[in-house]
Amino acid sequence: MANLKKGFVHTVFFWLKDKTNEADHKALHAGLLELSKIDLIQTAYVGLPADTNRAVIDSSYQFSITFVFDTPEQQAAYQTDPDHLAFVEKCSHLWEKVVVYDAES
């Protein structure tokens, strides 16, 4: 179990309003990359749907993020971090749907 880590994992999936708009795609991607720089985040992944095809896979989203925090308190502080709030203000008009999965290990 040497690979098992402890922490708070925050995973978010984003569906764009206009999935074919390249400018919107680039704007959200840039916003997510900037968001990933917040110091409270220990590990950050910003991704696109993988090119996999199995019945259990949902690839309908355009972007996902997975941010790992050491503690639930750090994740709570992230929610009110000025850079996170600025991201929501700047980019929320781009998405039609957001789904969040939080997990503690």
Over residues 36-58, mean pLDDT: 96
Number of independent structural domains in the chain: 1
Give the residue ranges of DSSP H helices in 1-105: 22-35, 72-79, 82-91
Residue 1 belongs to some domain of the structure = no
Rounded to the nearest 5 degrees, what angle is found at the Cα of 15, between the Cα atoms of 40 and 26? 70
Rounded to the nearest 5 degrees, what angle is found at the Cα of 68, between the Cα atoms of 12 and 56? 45
Domain that includes residue 47, residue range: 13-51+58-104
Q: What is the CATH number of the domain that holds 46?
A: 3.30.70.100
Residue 97 belongs to some domain of the structure = yes
Residue 8 belongs to some domain of the structure = no
Structure tokens belonging to residue 6: 């402890």
pLDDT class for 3, splitting at 50, 70, 90? Answer: confident
pLDDT class for 59, splitting at 50, 70, 90? Answer: very high
Over residues 86-91, mean pLDDT: 98
Amino acid at 19: K
Q: Is the pLDDT of residue 70 over 90?
A: yes
What's the pLDDT score for residue 2?
A: 75
What pTM value is reported for the model?
0.94
